[in-house]
Chains A and B, each alone.
Chain A
Amino acid sequence: MKVLNEMNLNFLSKSTNESYARSAVSSFFIQLDPTIDELSDIKTAVSEAVTNCIVHGYRNTMGKVFITARILEGNEVYIKIRDKGCGIADVNQAMEPMFTTAKEEERAGLGFAVMQTFMDKLKVTSKVGVGTTIIMTKKLSPRIKNA
């Protein structure tokens, strides 16, 4: 798929950056003239992914979160979010709704469920001790361009 535009972002895994990350990514996609609902979906999915990097990937440590956001041909958004944290031993188990390893922090275990529901596609790759990469895509509704 042809890449029409791209931006890259990296920041420290501090929870204060969750708000910055979802705002920056959603601002980048404003040029596609998304609906308010589409933008909320993207913001929420990014927030979940970044929170996973901070809460799980870099649990009790500090590292960097890397985001690549792309606009693909055909009004499609592509978001890659990566950490070099602890990794996930069993990705399928981690993706099960309500599964969480952070119950005491009141994590509902629905981060991946939100990403799956609010985006079209979600791919998770992870290696213990190396880190986790998630790629999400979503096709936005066609917009009528004003001449």
Chain B
Amino acid sequence: MVNIVIKDDELTANLIGEIDHHTSVSIREVIDKQIQTAMPKMTILDFSKVTFMDSSGIGLVMGRYKLMQSIDGSLKVTGMSNHIKRVMMLAGLSKLVIIE
């Protein structure tokens, strides 16, 4: 599940619950639709309410990174638990996106 908050040039996607191959499909559809409408300068993916994530989360971050790049914006990732960080680090995502 995902809740979107848009303020000025910033779009925050609050991710909630489990992120896997099944759930990531609808999550990315919602986020992409909102990004394409709002055209923010910065998108923030907040993982603080994510209870489980497998490598589908990496695809979710990489895909949004590419989308933000295509509109000259940037992507920030926040609120990752240690476990989620371990999964993300496998992909070397810290080189691409801002991690807080």
The residues of A with any CB-CB pair to B shorter than 8 Å are 15-16, 18-19, 22, 37, 40, 43-44, 47-48, 51, 54-55, 97-98, 105-108, 110-111, 113-114, 117-118
Is the pair A106, B87 in contact by a Cβ cutoff of 8 Å?
no
Assess whether B20 is in contact with A110, with CB atoms less than 8 Å apart: no
Check B90–A113 contact: CB distance below 8 A. yes
Majority secondary structure of chain A interface residues (helix, strand, loop or mixed): helix
Residues in B70-84 with C-beta less than 8 Å from chain A: 82-83
B55 CB → nearest A CB, Å: 4
Separation in Å of the A117 CB from the closest CB of chain B? 6
- Count, chain B residues at interface, CB 8 A: 23
Q: Is the CB of A114 within 8 A of B90?
A: yes
Instruction: Give the complex CA separation of A43 and B87 in angstroms.
Output: 12
Nearest opposing residue in chain B for A39, CB measure = B83
Tell me which residues across on chain B come within 8 A of A118, comparing CB atoms: 86
